[in-house]
Amino acid sequence: MASLTIDNLDPQLYEVLRVAADLNARSIEEQACVILKNALEQNQSTGGLGTAIKERFRSVGGVELDLPSR
């Protein structure tokens, strides 16, 4: 397994990470890995901008736009 060292981590950020780890019964390292994994998975695109807009408005029935003529 790979290792990662983070230099100059803000003490307040470290404290937030420590508390989150404690609340989730994880080590600080495990909590950091979960946060990093979740952040990277959210950033992986399954489509383009149009797909993202469609997904955003799906819960309200979608949006139909008239395309301007070119």
Whole-number pLDDT of residue 37:
93
pTM more than 0.75: no
Report yes or no: 21 and 27 within 8 Å, Cβ to Cβ: yes
Please tell me the distance from the alpha carbon of residue 50 to that of residue 24, in angstroms, as a whole number: 36
Helix (H) or strand (E) holding 29: helix 28-43
Q: Is 26 exposed, middle or buried (0-12, 13-18, 19+ CB in 10 A)?
A: middle
Q: Which residues 6+ apart lie within 8 Å of 54 measured at CB? A: 62
Residue with tokens 């997904």: 55
Percent of the chain with pLDDT over 90: 47
